[in-house]
Chain A
Amino acid sequence: MSKDTLFDKVWDLHKVSSLPGGSDQIFIGLHLIHEVTSPQAFGALKDKNLKVKFPSRTVATVDHIVPTDNQSRPFKDNLAEQMIETLEKNCLEHKIEFFNIGSGNQGIVHVVAPELGLTQPGMTIACGDSHTSTHGAFGSIAFGIGTSQVRDVLATQTIAMNKLKVRQIWCENKLSNGVYAKDLVLHIINKLGVKAGVGFAYEFAGPAINSLSMEERMTICNMSIEGGARCGYINPDEKTFSYIKNKLCAPKNENWDEALLWWKSLKSDANSIYDDVTKIDASKVEPTVTWGITPGQSVGINQKIPLLEELPPDDQFVAEEAYEYMGFKQGQSIKDTPIDVCFIGSCTNGRISDLRVAAKVIKNKKVSQNVKAFVVPGSEKVAKEAKIEGLDKIFLDAGFQWREPGCSMCLAMNSDKLIGNQVSASSSNRNFKGRQGSPTGRTLLMSPAMVAAAAISGKVTDIRDFM
């Protein structure tokens, strides 16, 4: 059993009681909600005649269903309109802060909370969304919850949960040029497998992690869930603190000093005990691309799609399904795969640094004729910053579409969808069958720089040949 890790410390701090059934009652410091998983929870409160216990500890935004072309209300899609209206109504009724479209602070929930300074070290954070693990980049313990738990957090600010085990993933050395956080996390998921994290919190540590920027760290923690871990985190350091400083909801003045003092005391002890430790050599990671239908099915850009017999027996069944669905042959190279759609965005890679990297790649170049490429900033703040820096213009000049913030084609709950069996190069996090809106659509996950390179060349390309 783990001991003295950051996870243990934060868990113990937030433990309200041990429940008779064997789980712990855990206090949730920050609760984030969006339009898809919250309405039934509010409905359940009403049915039970309950109030929101601490309304100021819940913050709402709207992201999944928002159209990214025309955001004027009412939305064209009736159901989308009904969902945003319900959220508006619930937030108003229960006095919950809601960052609506046009507020300047709307966006994908996991992009918005950190950029507002809501996400802070040592907190427990929950949201009815599996990518809540993103917030662990700040040394908070953050996890996705189901609708019934959203109800419980609203009603009690606590949930019943079994304590997770802790696996440290120690990343040695440094990423080489042209290799990004996305490549590292895809590589980790490939090495450990998509189910390895079940029952675990992942602590990402080591020199390669320390040298990442906060936004890159978010990319890593974001995809913990793709590795099966409900929660992923990184011990906070100076980069963490300076990222938070001066953000809208960051502690101010003497409160800042007090916060800093506490945050600095928060990390896994040097002699802490983990349930498991795994080592990864970051210098060996190549630009990585998924070829299959799970985020674990990836290869380095210069490697071949694995032969069936090279895979562990447990992975062979889904590999066969993947060859067939994706239209790839075993042993084929991933490089030069023609691409139809390029998508830069999502809570994994829709932040300003992602847009900067992509813009640098495409500057003064043109999107290949066969490709439809678009950029969906992760939030209104990201969009604004990008415009100030002139990135929107670089994208538009190259032939990208520049859209309004939202989840968009990460899961295609709006009208941004693949058509037929189009192949997309996507900076998002899931390549499940049908994920991007077409039941036969095919998704290749990669870093934003690689998506940008694919947009220009019309096929999967090694970003390092572009630099």
Chain B
Amino acid sequence: MIKKFQSPVGPISKIVGKSIVLIGDDIDTDRIIPARFLKCVNFDNLGQSVFEDDRKNLKGKHPFDLKSNKGSSILIVNSNFGCGSSREHAPQALLRWGIRAIIGESFAEIFYCNCIAIGIPCFTLPKKLVKNIQENKNINNSLCEINIQESTFKSTFFNFDLEIKNSSKNMFLSGEWDATSTLLANKKLIEKKINDLPYTKFNQSNELFETI
């Protein structure tokens, strides 16, 4: 049975999983999720369509189709990843395929923000180091661990320091990246507010509002 998809929630301090390497600069969001998949009522099926056209062209040889990459959660990319259209569908598709963190030389700004909003931390590394990792034959055989507090990447084969903006780091550690949770934390204040508003009282007699 396919495991039910679960969005990240709350504070994120650690990501553990296998790494998957995707090589190429300027991979845009149209390639990550082609425009025709935007006509949808949910993001649920986007996972299977991630890189759809690229994958079709490579006939099973695309990294997202290789057996050895199955179940991976840390994506290693090159520069300007996620450029182009601002669609949130792109990180959503990656997330639903199983990606929980991305390491790359650089990211497009909107893509980076969209990733934060849905709980995917993105880290940067110098070009050379990314290349080293991407060329390592053992990369997808070992379990890796990203520690956000310490900004480190550890695995059986190599350990190195990652770079992440301080503000982003704090958002993940505190859980504030997830606006819903941050807002929900003030549950008591919200309930007090609804009771204090003048109009919740005088609208109580009408059917629509009565169940407050």
Contact = CB atoms under 8 A, between A and B. Distances in A.
Interface in A229-259: 248-253, 255-256, 258-259
Interface stretch (B11-19, B122-130, B139-147, B201-209): B201-209
Nearest to A155: B180
Contact of B182 (A42, A123, A160): A160
Contacts of B193: 14, 16, 27
Interface stretch (A45-53, A169-177, A267-275, A304-312): A45-53
Contact of B183 (A44, A158, A249, A262): A158
Interface residues of B, number: 40
A331 interface: no
A179 interface: no
B166 interface: no
Most chain B CB inside 10 Å of its own CB: which residue of A27, A50, A86, A122: A27
B44 A251 contact: no
B203 A25 contact: no
Given A16-B189, A21-B176, A57-B212, A40 B117 contact: no
A30 to B, nearest CB: 9
Contacts of A59: 208
Given A16-B193, A43-B42, A251 B203 contact: yes
Given A29-B199, A255-B204, A262-B199, A79 B39 contact: yes
Contacts of A262: 198-199, 202
* Size band of the interface chain A makes with B: 35 or more
B1 interface: no
B41 A27 contact: no
A156 B184 CA distance: 6
Interface in A17-74: 17, 19-21, 25, 27, 29, 39-40, 42-44, 47-48, 50, 53-57, 59
B132 interface: no
Interface stretch (B2-10, B51-59, B70-78, B103-111): B2-10
Contact of B190 (A53, A79, A149): A53
Contact of B206 (A149, A157, A250): A250
Most chain B CB inside 10 Å of its own CB: which residue of A43, A47, A53, A147: A47
5 contacts: A19-B182, A48-B9, A50-B180, A158-B186, A249-B203
